[in-house]
Amino acid sequence: MSRTLYQAGPLFSRAEQSFHRELSARLRDAGHEVIWPGELLTEAQIEAAGPHAPNRIYTACRDALELCDCVVALLDGTQVDDGTAWEIGYAHAKGIPVYGLRTDTRQAGETQYNHVNSMIQGCLAGFARSVEELTGMLGDGKAVQKEDECPCLDDDCPQRGDCLSCYPHEASMENLPYCMRPENAVSKEHKERVTARLRAAGMQLGGGIR
């Protein structure tokens, strides 16, 4: 199903801007609508805002986040870009799934199990090491998804009718649709139904899932 994606990440160097444009093109080719902050305001608009430019940039990005179905965040670097970190936290607080992309091969975070800082990693609905892995995780936006194919089959599911596809049995906990993640259940009963369906499909659930 086609999604509206907010593409977060540093965009201050030519290399960063070039990567973002290429990523946007790949995501659009997959059928998704992409909102990239680098295209929200022109240099002329920012210059014309004068001393109000910081607030103009903030408002444009915040409002764009409100319109998206999920966030794709570039996490490269020794530390996650500060603006990107804010966007991740804001989206997570709003219940918007965030998918991280880190092509950087350096170890980051507090432990050997971290990809990035724990406070960032804990917000992620999915993590990818390549653009190919990311697009596979998001699914084909050109595919037609019927509402009654939502695998949780639960009217209380906040994402009903917006699953990646009818639940793929080869999926892992890292690339499950939002509504199939037990931690996103809207009630105890919803969580029990989702968990039972995952177990019936042969999914190995972690010890933290009760």
The tens digit of pLDDT for each residue in 135-164 reads 888 875 544 333 334 445 455 554 444 443
Identify whether residues 131 and 171 lie together within a single domain.
Answer: no
Identify whether residues 54 and 100 lie together within a single domain.
Answer: yes
Identify whether residues 80 and 172 lie together within a single domain.
Answer: no
In degrees, to the nearest 5, what angle opens at C-alpha 141 toward C-alphas 64 and 26? 75
Residue 186 lies in a domain: yes
pTM: 0.66
Boundary residue ending a domain (103, 138, 173): 138
Task: Give the chain's domain count.
Answer: 2
| Distance between CA atoms of residues 147 and 160, nearest Å | 7
What pLDDT digit, counting tens, does each position of 64-92 carry? 999 999 999 999 999 999 999 999 999 99
Identify whether residues 101 and 173 lie together within a single domain.
Answer: no
Largest CA distance in the chain: 59
| Distance between CA atoms of residues 78 and 107, nearest Å | 8
Other CB atoms within 10 Å distance of the CB of residue 166: 14
Q: Which domain holds residue 89?
A: 4-138
Point out the least confidently predicted range of 15-24, 30-39, 77-86, 177-186: 177-186
For the cut 90, the answer to whether the pLDDT of residue 25 exceeds it is yes
pLDDT for the residue numbered 149: 40
> Considering the chain, what percentage of its residues have pLDDT values greater than 70?
66
Q: How confident is the model at residue 174 (pLDDT cuts 50, 70, 90)?
A: low
N-term to C-term CA, the chain: 30
pLDDT for the residue numbered 145: 36
Identify whether residues 160 and 190 lie together within a single domain.
Answer: yes
Identify whether residues 35 and 122 lie together within a single domain.
Answer: yes
